[in-house]
């Protein structure tokens, strides 16, 4: 197998990923072996590679938006066969026994494990996944189309749910990267008026093309009170901007695994039962619901494909914004 592996976190300008050849992995009990065809490149990958998120295992193969096919099945696996198409997402496993797992909140499990953080991910030609956490994919979409949906799409869908977005309401999206560009398609499908706030004029124009009724910069507050907002930018002051723009009783959902400090703000910005809520991971039910929805809309995104050998450059381009669409590594 071939993999882009991280041994020591470092700035992506220093090319910290090493392209290596190694023995093919074997699926253990309850696992399947997947030949990866494509793997989306996520900002969380960048944060892991650069050390913004403390490593939990080194060396590690990043990547948690992988699409491929089953090439081997381990013992005690039901429901998967060789040649089945499969997706691999961020959530790699949970205990299944704790109070969170038993109440439909497996995303909060204290023993949860994550792809590309705790176990090797999709920046490789082969990888293993727990069979009960592998994702079944809708038909009729290419590997390149599906890969970016497995993180940004699923977590964006959960963020909309936690923000309590109502059909026909007004929604603010703060930051307009890959996840937000998928979330807007779900929100407009639900009949929402979407207001996008981003500093990039190119992203503002892209938001309008995707159905935003208004798009502006961070110094231009939306022209109407918002019923809900989701922040995607990994900076704390954006959360305050969103909180100041929402109406009474509204929720601001923070869609970020890593965020710098939220600056001090006046209580009047939180008054009138406004709420702040973080978005932590996703559940398999979220993934199932979102992937089913993609067959109805369908959710699409522009793809910027790169070979696996250019994984370092892909992360560097993501860091600088030098990207035309969603980055996807073609691994086969």
Q: Does the pLDDT at position 307 exceed 90?
A: yes
pLDDT of amino acid 296 = 85
Reported as a pLDDT band with limits 50, 70 and 90, residue 162 is very high
Q: Does the pLDDT at position 325 exceed 90?
A: no
pLDDT of amino acid 145 = 94
Q: Does the pLDDT at position 22 exceed 80?
A: yes
pLDDT, tens digit, 9 for 90 and up, residues 44-86: 999 999 999 999 999 999 999 999 999 999 999 999 999 999 9
What average pLDDT does this structure show over 300-322? Answer: 93
| Mean pLDDT, rounded, of the chain | 95
Q: Does the pLDDT at position 302 exceed 80?
A: yes
Q: Does the pLDDT at position 303 exceed 80?
A: yes
pLDDT of amino acid 124 = 98
**Quick count: other Cβ atoms within 10 Å of Cβ 153?**
31
- Intervals of CATH 3.40.50.720 along the chain: 153-278
What average pLDDT does this structure show over 110-120? Answer: 98
- Intervals of CATH 3.90.180.10 along the chain: 2-141+298-330
Cβ proximity of 24 and 331 under 8 Å: no
**Quick count: other Cβ atoms within 10 Å of Cβ 163?**
31
Q: Give the pair of three-digit tokens for residue 134.
A: 């592998």
- CA distances in angstroms from 307 to 42, 182, 310, listed in the order given: 15, 23, 6
pLDDT of amino acid 324 = 72
pLDDT, tens digit, 9 for 90 and up, residues 265-293: 999 999 999 999 999 999 999 999 999 99
pLDDT of amino acid 108 = 97
Strands 226-231 and 170-174: what pairing? parallel
Reported as a pLDDT band with limits 50, 70 and 90, residue 256 is confident
- What's the topology of domain 153-278? Rossmann fold (3.40.50)
Task: Select 2-141+298-330's CATH number: 3.40.50.1580, 3.40.50.720, 3.40.720.10, 3.90.180.10.
Answer: 3.90.180.10
């Amino acid at each position: 197998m071939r993999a882009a592996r991280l041994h020591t976190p470092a700035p992506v300008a220093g090319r910290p990923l090493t392209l290596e050849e190694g023995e093919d992995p074997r699926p253990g009990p309850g696992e399947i072996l997947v030949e990866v065809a494509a793997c989306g490149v996520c900002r969380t990958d960048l944060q892991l590679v650069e050390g913004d998120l403390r490593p939990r295992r080194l060396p590690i193969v990043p990547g948690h938006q992988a699409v491929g096919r089953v090439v081997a099945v381990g013992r005690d696996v039901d429901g998967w066969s060789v040649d089945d198409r499969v997706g691999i997402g961020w959530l790699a496993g949970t205990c299944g026994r704790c109070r969170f797992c038993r109440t439909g909140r497996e995303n909060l499990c204290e023993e949860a494990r994550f792809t590309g953080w705790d176990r090797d991910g999709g920046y490789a030609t082969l990888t293993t996944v727990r069979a009960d956490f592998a994702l079944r994919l809708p038909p009729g979409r290419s590997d390149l189309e599906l890969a970016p949906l497995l993180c940004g799409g699923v977590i964006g869908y959960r963020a909309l749910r936690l923000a309590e977005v109502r059909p026909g309401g007004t929604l603010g999206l703060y930051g307009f990267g890959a996840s937000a560009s998928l979330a807007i398609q779900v929100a407009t499908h639900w009949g929402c008026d979407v207001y996008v706030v981003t500093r990039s004029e190119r992203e503002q124009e892209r938001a309008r093309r995707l159905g935003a009724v208004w798009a502006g910069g961070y110094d231009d507050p939306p022209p109407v009170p918002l019923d809900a907002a989701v922040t995607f930018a990994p900076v704390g002051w954006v959360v305050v901007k969103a909180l100041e723009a929402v109406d009474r009783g509204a929720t601001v959902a923070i869609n970020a695994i890593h965020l710098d400090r939220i600056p001090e703000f006046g209580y009047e910005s939180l008054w009138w039962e406004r709420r702040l809520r973080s978005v932590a991971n996703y559940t398999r039910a979220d993934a199932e619901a979102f992937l089913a929805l993609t067959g109805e809309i369908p959710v699409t995104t522009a793809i910027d494909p790169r070979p696996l050998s250019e994984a370092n450059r892909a992360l560097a381009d993501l860091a600088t914004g030098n990207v035309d669409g969603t980055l996807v590594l073609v691994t086969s």
